[in-house]
Chains A and B, each alone.
Chain A
Amino acid sequence: MTATATYMYAITRPIAPEAVSDLRGIGGTPVRVIEHGELAALVGTVDLAEFGERPLAQHLADLEWLGRAAREHDEVVRAAARLTTTMPLRLATVCHDDDAVHARLDSVRGAVLTVLPELDGRDEWGVKIFAVADRTTPAETAPAASGAAYLTQRRRQLTSRDEWIDTATRTAFRAFGRLAEFAAASRQQTPQDQRLSGAEHPMVLNAAFLVSRRDEDAFRAAVADLAAEWPPGGVVLTGPWPPYSFVPNDDR
């Protein structure tokens, strides 16, 4: 058993090894290019004491470790995406050694070469929409005179809150359609839960768009128009991201 393993960050079109010589990845480790015909993999050497099956399972449950690794992984994938067309790999894809990476590249070569052209010259953008509304909060309403009155009042509050969220969700869905016109592909993801996100308002849209760099200005203008129609803070744009949400992951 060797004490190290090869951590894979992304599969890309060919990258010159010198292009990543200053790049650092997980735990500050150097990033290398493994060349494989018309493909390349961005990898690093990691310690099995940290990335073996047992320690890795433990680390993934440690929010501090996970948050740091996620940022470091994302930084390398971003750097790759700035250099060439990039297929991000999911966090913690670890092979025994470089030979095993070549074997993986062989096995996914066909699929990767099919998808890469769809990603050429395009970035992922995230748009989150929050149901921001000025409404009377339950705490501000007059106290109910009786238990029954309280229940009636509470039911009315919950109903109006549901209706308000429904309306915001429908409006956000139309907004998604408008923005999708500027994108080569678009996805709706599970909204992040507001009770735990600490966000002030419920999220009603968590969308990703694959946008050609040619159309970036038009897309951003459309997001700005949309933001102007919502209360302040209602529309949040993130990006550009590497195309995480637009690579196949159907073998999950």
Chain B
Amino acid sequence: MTEHLPAPQNGMSLADVLDRVLDKGLVIAGDIRVNLLDIELLTIKIRLLIASADKAREMGIDWWEHDPSLSNGKRDIAAENRALRSRIAELEATRQQAPQENQ
């Protein structure tokens, strides 16, 4: 998979692009909710990975393949995450007791 990670061009690596498109830019609420915490977690992990999956594997860091939150195989964590999120939303709604616009 690493052959898809382009070599730095003009000093500009994939890490530089990801650093910007994931972590920067105007954040507005889309309808498809990508949980901001998910993005933050992803950003942190990518910052660790930085364009060299091979290097990470050499160092024994193979979470990319085995971390349930990052591997495609396991959906249970994602499902649990969603359930928790909706539960939190319910709790917040009952706590505030005020009709709230879903942003």
Instruction: Give A contacts to B, CB under 8 Å.
Output: 5, 8, 11, 51-54, 56-58, 60-64, 66-68, 70-71, 73-74, 77, 87-96, 100, 104, 107-108, 112, 126, 128, 189-190, 192-193, 195-198, 206, 236-239, 241, 244-245, 247-249, 251-252
Q: With A and B bound together, what is the CA distance between A73 and B26 in angstroms?
A: 13
12 A-B pairs besides A197-B52, A245-B24, A248-B26 with CB distance below 8 A are A11-B26, A53-B33, A53-B34, A61-B69, A63-B49, A70-B14, A88-B21, A90-B26, A94-B34, A100-B31, A108-B28, A196-B48
Closest to A57 in B: B78
Complex: A8 Cα to B39 Cα, angstroms: 17
The residue in chain A whose Cβ has the minimal distance to the Cβ of B53 is A63
Q: Are A71 and B26 in contact (CB under 8 A)?
A: no
Q: Which residues of A contact B16 (CB under 8 A)?
A: 126, 238
| B99 located at the interface, meaning its Cβ lies under 8 Å from any Cβ of chain A in the complex | no
A181 CA to B76 CA, complexed, in Å: 51
Q: Is the CB of A90 within 8 A of B50?
A: no
B94 in contact (CB, < 8 A): no
Q: How far is the CB of A57 from chain B (nearest CB, A)?
A: 6
Residue of A54, A91, A190, A237 contacting most chain B CB atoms (<10 Å): A91
Supposing A64-B1, A70-B14, A238-B12 touch, asked if A192 and B19 sit within 8 A by C-beta, the answer is: yes
